[in-house]
Structure 1
Amino acid sequence: MIVVDGVPISAHSSSTSQGIDTLLSLLENPFLVSASNSFKAIPERKFSVSEESCPDRSKWVYVFQSEYATVDPAFVNFVGTDEATTCVGLVIRNQSNGMTSLAHMDSPKIVDRGLSQMLSLLVDDNVETVLEVHLIGGFEDVSPKHANGRTGSESHSDLDGYSFPLCAKIVQALCTREETFHLQTSCVLGHNTQRDSYGNAFPIFNGFVVETLTGRVFPASFDRTSRCPDEIVRRIRVTASFEDPDRNGKLLETYDTKKDRFIIAPCRWTLRQYRIASTLIHHSDSEILSMCSTSPDAEGPDFVDSLKRQWNYLIEHPYWTETFPEKQPRIFERTADGGWTRC
């Protein structure tokens, strides 16, 4: 169940609505509209290891696309993500102890099982839990008017675009679960959309962080040095997981909550992916954008560079066992200065 400003939100039970009607009402909710405006007024926080952007030696956990992490405020000051265009960041925080779970959702197919993964370390069946929720990301790559004018036979998968179907599925899943979710922020779709002089839409924010101690949410961006540890391998793991039958609608797990460390499980990539990388690396930047992005006009400036670095890694390491010798995970422990070192 979703609660906004103390008021339960009625869920639409029709299987054809798939959360669309509820989402449309949330987009117009005065409390959430005000919260979105307040969020947009907050200065963006920039994270970098190479610069003095975090002089207090803050410890953070970075979440890539398709990943999630549940963090303990005793170990972690911030948990965040960025590089989201049509993706949506979902935060669920246990108000009583500050335990915070953040997921970078990229498909309606991972929402149901992903929610269960996120809640597994947040909810104690024997204790009443207040769950704070924030939704940030996505933009108007499909008009809500289009969704509102659907026929009864349409589902979210029939709508154009990516952001709206994903947001609708998240809302539908939150509404139908037994837990009570206190929705604090819903800066998605139209609330996270700006347009250039030609009318092209793109997100206002591509990233954010949660301060675990207070639960405050800030717009944020991360540079290459702060998207760690094991940036390239984790990026490749996201791509390789799309062909992994064992993933089965789950978010990718990388972070060990109880020990404040990363465990990157082995992932297989094939010679087919090596051949794809060898081909795509020779295309122009504009061709790469059009072929590899769900929103070519809205991507960040380092999108193509990140892809090229992944492809170069695959070309240099065509066999996945070179990266995961004896099929063992790659483990990274926290250092005294808040960084990471491989065990």
Structure 2
Amino acid sequence: MVLVLNGVLQEECPPDTRSLYHAHPVYRETAAQLLAIPNKVIGPVGLLYVQQRELAATVPHDKNVNILGSDDVTTCLIVVVRHSGSGAVALAHLDGSGTDEAVCTMVQRVQELALGYPEGRIELQLIGGFTDPRHYSEELFYNVMTSFHKHPVEIDLTLACVGELNTTIRGGIHWPIIYGIGVNTKTGEIFPATFPDKGPDQPLRCSRFLTGVSQVLDIYDCSLGLLRIGPFNYEPLRGVDLWLEQSDEFILQHLSTSPDVEPPHFVMQIRATLKYIQDNQFPAVTVFRDNRPHYYRRDEHSGIWTPVRY
């Protein structure tokens, strides 16, 4: 009984988004406020981009990160956990894998970063998902809410822009309205956003969810200002050569949970990832030599994440 909705401690988790909005109309209002904000295109300087099946946490005084962000969300959810007293914030891009562990890690990170600061509440914000034909988004919403509800800490849901409220209909097809968001780490402000530059090691990072690595990876150490990828391994992807021979339409239809509404670069990104997997069938050997992560630090002059030995 630790999920707090509209200021009231809940005994049970809402079974779906419609029930949430029906019982607590205030969430319709806060979602509408987010939807009214124009989408921003965010460049790489000061950005820490969080890929699918990743999470990252930081604090307002982190000089390396001004914005935590993620996009390309269709049936996935962006989850933001923030401590109201310290401003410590974590963001994850969840797709249904590793949810319980990710929720625990996010809350733990935010609590650790909030130590010594004024008291505050742990606030939860959920953005993404839509009324997709296979109901993936609803299932994920319920699983994420249940994970937070099971957590021993009281958690205030302050924003839920999900499901039907994040859905528009064009040409008879349901589309997500918001595909991505940024969080201003200094103020906690959330805004719709897209990120043309998604940071380093994209094919490597995407390889994890294409090959079925279920863990949600914590990619950032804010005390050191280091973006950290890996080490991890995956099983060789059977038939990767065959996948790469297929048409764009085939890849779209078979490797997307929502083929009708993917962003235009989806297939290109999948192809790049498949090629990476083809070239690196055993990343523990070819990518993470000596079991060392890939570390990146923000370059003071360019503002871009650059590789470092650590």
Q: TM-score, normalised by structure 2?
A: 0.89
Instruction: Sort the Cα spacing of 1:23 and 1:178 in 2 relative to 1 into closer, same or farther, 3 A.
Output: farther
In 2: Cα distance, 1:8 partner to 1:100 partner: 23
Residue 278 of structure 1 and its aligned partner are, at CA, apart by 1.2
Residue 284 of structure 1 and its aligned partner are, at CA, apart by 1.0
In 1: Cα distance, 2:149 partner to 2:119 partner: 18
DSSP 3-state at the match of 1:101: strand
DSSP 3-state at the match of 1:91: strand
Question: Residues 234 and 282 of structure 2 are in contact (CA less than 8 Å); yes or no, is this contact kept in structure 1?
Answer: yes
Residue 176 of structure 1 and its aligned partner are, at CA, apart by 3.3
Residue 306 of structure 1 and its aligned partner are, at CA, apart by 0.1
Instruction: Sort the Cα spacing of 1:317 and 1:95 in 2 relative to 1 into closer, same or farther, 3 A.
Output: same
Question: Residues 22 and 171 of structure 1 are in contact (CA less than 8 Å); yes or no, is this contact kept in structure 2?
Answer: no
In 2: Cα distance, 1:325 partner to 1:178 partner: 39
In 1: Cα distance, 2:4 partner to 2:66 partner: 27
In 2: Cα distance, 1:117 partner to 1:276 partner: 34
Match in the other structure for 1:83:
72
DSSP 3-state at the match of 2:103: helix
Number of paired residues? 299
Residue 86 of structure 1 and its aligned partner are, at CA, apart by 0.5
Residue 161 of structure 1 and its aligned partner are, at CA, apart by 2.5
**Which residue, 227, 245, 253 being the options, matches 2:218?**
253
Match in the other structure for 1:11:
11
1:215 has 2:188 as partner? yes
**Which residue, 118, 132, 151 being the options, matches 2:123?**
132
Residue 128 of structure 1 and its aligned partner are, at CA, apart by 4.1
Instruction: Sort the Cα spacing of 1:169 and 1:269 in 2 relative to 1 into closer, same or farther, 3 A.
Output: closer
Match in the other structure for 1:170:
144
Structure 2 stretches lacking a partner, 5+ long? none
Residue 11 of structure 1 and its aligned partner are, at CA, apart by 2.9
In 2: Cα distance, 1:176 partner to 1:267 partner: 28
Amino acid at match of 2:25: P
Question: Residues 131 and 182 of structure 1 are in contact (CA less than 8 Å); yes or no, is this contact kept in structure 2?
Answer: yes
Question: Residues 225 and 297 of structure 2 are in contact (CA less than 8 Å); yes or no, is this contact kept in structure 1?
Answer: yes
Amino acid at match of 1:95: S
Residue 314 of structure 1 and its aligned partner are, at CA, apart by 2.7
Amino acid at match of 2:39: E
Match in the other structure for 2:174:
201
1:234 has 2:205 as partner? yes
Residue 114 of structure 1 and its aligned partner are, at CA, apart by 1.2
**Which residue, 62, 73, 90 being the options, matches 2:49?**
62
**Which residue, 20, 38, 51 being the options, matches 1:26?**
20
Residue 97 of structure 1 and its aligned partner are, at CA, apart by 1.3
Question: Residues 10 and 22 of structure 1 are in contact (CA less than 8 Å); yes or no, is this contact kept in structure 2?
Answer: no
Match in the other structure for 1:117:
105
Question: Residues 86 and 120 of structure 2 are in contact (CA less than 8 Å); yes or no, is this contact kept in structure 1?
Answer: no
Give the fraction of aligned pairs with identical amino acids, expressed as a percent. 29
In 2: Cα distance, 1:169 partner to 1:318 partner: 32
Instruction: Sort the Cα spacing of 1:278 and 1:302 in 2 relative to 1 into closer, same or farther, 3 A.
Output: same
In 2: Cα distance, 1:239 partner to 1:72 partner: 31
Q: TM-score, normalised by structure 1?
A: 0.81
**Which residue, 256, 261, 267 being the options, matches 1:298?**
261
DSSP 3-state at the match of 1:190: helix
In 2: Cα distance, 1:39 partner to 1:83 partner: 17
In 1: Cα distance, 2:122 partner to 2:14 partner: 23
Q: In terms of mean alpha carbon deviation, does 253-262 or 31-40 score higher?
A: 253-262
Amino acid at match of 2:123: E
